Amino acid sequence: MKLACQENQVPGDSLGEKLSNLQSWGYAGIEFVGGQFWERVDEINQACANSSVKPSTICAGYRGCFLDPDPEERQIALDDSQKILAAAGQIGAVGMIFVPLFGPPRLPDLSPYADKIELEKRLLTEVIKILAETAAAHNTLALLEPLNRYETHLINRLEQGVEIIQAAGDPPGIKIMADFFHMNIEEPHIAESIRAAGDYIAHIHLADSIRWLPGYGHTDFKPGFQALAEIGFDNYMALECSVLGDPYVDLPQAAEYLRAQMP
């Protein structure tokens, strides 16, 4: 298990300075966020060439919506995502994190043929096939993220992410991302859910129960980290949370705290 941090939480006037700070604090990876990510490939490769801190993942950055009734919106999401996946391969990242849909359903209810949820699942399986094929072609992954019920209605738990991937034919090029903040809300037992998902998990997001840095809330990370070790997880775990204090103090402390939770 390797610690990473999202770029926008790291202090520094340049990417090189951010990488230097992360390296000195014991982080191994950096997660990127933002639109038109493909324009940063050269910058990132140059900066990371001389650093032990490597790109972990790209968090979204696409426009549009995969499950919108407007085909133009769906195509924008696919086009942007395919560009980001190509860029992810170019920088050697694990993959691109994506959320199928935020909020309530947008598709119409076509009962008795299919209700909104059934239509969404059928459409999502086709989206997964496209993203997986693109990711595999670029030696990277599309990473499906389950979110809590207050942010999306569709994929809330790890098992639901696994089920929809299996419904799409279990293609290479797609895995799931497990976020401790969302799991704290949705999973009956975080460690058991991680064990059940097994090697479908290819990336982790870390945040405490209140979306602050780990150690500031009531989430017990040790059982989840133990379960990750048991399934052989050795990829990145990236901080996606608020840093309320001085990042020069809080980020190294967070790394120390998290290492103490690992088996």
Contact at 8 Å (CB) between 206 and 178?
no
Phi, psi of 133, rounded to the nearest 5 degrees = -65, -45
What is the pLDDT, as a whole number, of residue 36?
86
Q: Which two tokens stand for residue 181?
A: 């903040």
3-41 pLDDT, tens digit per residue, is 999 999 999 999 999 999 999 999 999 999 978 899 999
Residue 39 catalytic? no
Q: How is residue 140 written in tokens? A: 């990277």
The answer to whether 177 touches 203, Cβ cutoff 8 Å, is: yes
Q: How far apart are the C-alpha atoms of 155 and 159, rounded to whole Å? A: 9
Mean pLDDT in the chain?
97
- In this predicted model, what pLDDT tens digit does every residue of 71-112 receive, in sequence order? 999 999 999 999 999 999 999 999 999 999 999 999 999 999
What is the pTM for the complete model shown? 0.96
pLDDT over 90 at 201, yes or no: yes
Mean pLDDT of 151-177: 98
Residue labelled with tokens 């097994």: 198
Q: Which two tokens stand for residue 217?
A: 């809330």
pLDDT of residue 138: 98
Element (H, E) at 160: helix 158-167
Set 7, 31, 145, 186: catalytic member: 145
Residue 35 pLDDT: 85
DSSP run (H or E) holding 250: helix 247-261
**Three-state SS across 40-92?**
HHHHHHHHHHCCCCEEEEEECCCCCCCCCCCHHHHHHHHHHHHHHHHHHHHHC
Report, as an integer, the average pLDDT of 189-206: 98
- Under the banding of pLDDT at 50, 70 and 90, the label for residue 67 is very high
The yes-or-no answer on residue 133 being catalytic is: no
The tokens describing 251, both together, are: 């980020």
Q: For residue range 120-155, list pLDDT tens digits in order.
A: 999 999 999 999 999 999 999 999 999 999 999 999
What is the pLDDT at residue 179?
Answer: 98
Angle at 52 between CA 51 and CA 58, to 5 degrees: 85
Q: Which is catalytic among the residues 7, 120, 186, 240?
A: 240
Q: How far apart are CA 93 and CA 72, in angstroms?
A: 28
Average pLDDT (39-44) is: 96
Q: What is the pLDDT, as a whole number, of residue 24?
A: 98
Name all domains of the chain by residue range, CATH numbers in brackets: 2-261 (3.20.20.150)
Cβ atoms of residues 117 and 107 within 8 Å:
no
Spatial CB neighbours of 156, under 8 Å, sequence gap ≥ 6: 146, 147, 148, 149, 182, 186
* Overall average pLDDT of the 176-189 stretch: 97
